[in-house]
Amino acid sequence: MLLEILEAEAPMTFARYMELCLYHERYGYYARGPRLGREGDYFTSPTVHRVFGATLARQLLELYELLGRPQEFLLVEAGAGEGWLARDILDYLQKKGLEWPYLIVEPLPNLRALQEEVLRPHGSKVRWVRDFTEIPPFTGVFLSNELFDSLPVHLLEKTSEDLREVYVEVSQGKIREKLLEISRPEILQRVLPYALHWPEGYRTEVCLAYEPIYKELSKKLIRGALLNLDYGFPRADYYHPERHRGTLLAYSRHRVSENPYLRPGHQDLTAHVDFTALRELGEKYGFLNLGFVQQGPFLVGLAVEEVLLEISENTFRDREALKLLVLPEGLGHSHWVLIQARGLHPETELSGLRLANRLNLLY
């Protein structure tokens, strides 16, 4: 069915193709009910162990203190998946005697239903809105885990003559690529200095969907912080000449493929995050960059091992999960944390950034 919808709209940019494959309201991957967690198509930090959310909650508590314990403090999350992260944060806060309201931005009704189920024990503390425009002005923290990597990307290829954009054509049920002119000038601006060093045939991605999110958040966050966690790179690494196949990947049942055209709507499509773009957007929209650090040192800086002892039996499985979250061969190096703030002193040193600061690991 999705193929017919694609055929009716083709030719389209790869970004539009990816948007339909992931978010078509009926046949998109996320609307059809993504399979998350260890049994699913891929796993994420919150599905590894609840110590991840609990440790993040520690960082939220510190931000709350630094902001002078505001009377009203709201946590806002987007891309909340099945709601595990929200649950683990709220459980930890409850242990500490705190009952902050939690707002989830969730456009998809099926995911909202899953989240409602998981978060039922937290009752009316948790509320939902369908998109960023519906968030009320707030003091608090916006957070996301693996939101930005699931946004549609434009695909570029360097030919012997120039840079071209990948378009998708669908005819009689067959999908083909076509290289055409770049659809928007911002795409070129993002890669221009790097593209000169790329070899012929180099492929990469540019995501323009980050900006509407930052723009909206800039209208909503009065005082507080943005905490975005994801896999990605600073831009110079992202567009390094050696990364000639880009970062676009398709996931299905833990199998990774580089072919985004297999079974449209049935596999997850992702691209790594250009964190430099998020930093620049922060600056453009009036957020202060507090730090950018890999997940490993971030969690260790927040004493993740202490949190583990606090909330678990410290079994072999618990410790294995901790290793997966922290060590470089797990998610500790591939995943990053970008913290941007408004209304905090530029010299503010957060616990999550302290270790990285000392070891000179802050980017």
Ligand X SMILES: C[S@@+](CC[C@H](N)C(=O)[O-])C[C@H]1O[C@@H](n2cnc3c(N)ncnc32)[C@H](O)[C@@H]1O
Which residues of the shown chain bind ligand X in the complex (CB under 6 A)? 30, 36, 44, 46-47, 78-81, 85, 105, 107-108, 111, 145-147, 150-151
User: Which of 341, 322, 332, 320 is closest to 361 using CA atoms?
Assistant: 332
* Min dist. Cβ of residue 282 to ligand X (A): 18
Q: What CA–CA distance (Å, rounded) separates 153 from 168?
A: 13
CB 314 within 8 A of CB 272: no
Q: Which of 36/299 has CB closer to ligand X?
A: 36
* Min dist. Cβ of residue 212 to ligand X (A): 8
Cis peptide before 11 (omega within 30 of 0): yes
Residue given tokens 């009320």 in the structure block = 136
Element (H, E) at 304: helix 304-311
User: Which of 285, 289, 270, 298 is closest to 148 using CA atoms?
Assistant: 270
The DSSP symbol for 341 reads E
Map 216-282 to HEC letters: HHHHHEEEEEEEEEEEEECHHHHCCCCCCCCCCEEEECCEEECCCCCCCCCCEEECCEEHHHHHHHH
Q: Which of 198/282 has CB closer to ligand X?
A: 282
Q: What CA–CA distance (Å, rounded) separates 91 from 53?
A: 9
Q: Which of 156/213 has CB closer to ligand X?
A: 213
Residues written for the chain: 363
* Min dist. Cβ of residue 111 to ligand X (A): 5
**Identity at 289, one-letter amino acid code:** N
Q: Which of 80/170 has CB closer to ligand X?
A: 80
Q: Which of 151/308 has CB closer to ligand X?
A: 151
* Min dist. Cβ of residue 292 to ligand X (A): 19
Q: Which of 78/153 has CB closer to ligand X?
A: 78
Q: Which of 193/212 has CB closer to ligand X?
A: 212
* Min dist. Cβ of residue 37 to ligand X (A): 8
Exposed / middle / buried, residue 80 (Cβ in 10 Å: 0-12, 13-18, 19+) = buried
* Min dist. Cβ of residue 66 to ligand X (A): 25
* Min dist. Cβ of residue 229 to ligand X (A): 8
